Amino acid sequence: MSLGLEQWIGETVELVYMDDSGVPRQEQVELLIIGARCVTAFSYERNDALMFRNESILGFIPVQRRNATLYH
């Protein structure tokens, strides 16, 4: 699976996924590990590490990138 998450390891994203009951959810997380079958991320809201099955991930929205340069 490749949603382009690999380049965001260690960064904060809004992860959009289907929970176990089939309801779409969105959660702000820091991506920790991108595996063959799941993604491990730290949830700021729950203050805990979570695992998401790749097939349940619908997409993501980048929140911030460390060492980013602000251009204006």
> 17 pLDDT exceeds 50?
yes
The tens digit of pLDDT for each residue in 34-46 reads 999 999 999 999 9
Q: Where are the domains of the chain?
A: 18-64
How far is Cα 21 from Cα 56, in angstroms, rounded to an integer? 11
pLDDT score for 4: 85
What's the rounded Cα separation, in Å, for the pair 35 and 53? 9
- Cβ distance 41 to 7 under 8 Å? no
What pLDDT shows up at residue 69? 47
- Calpha distance 61→51 (Å, rounded): 18
Which structure tokens are listed for 63? Answer: 């929140």
Compute the average pLDDT of residues 28-39.
Answer: 95
Q: What is the pLDDT of residue 72?
A: 38
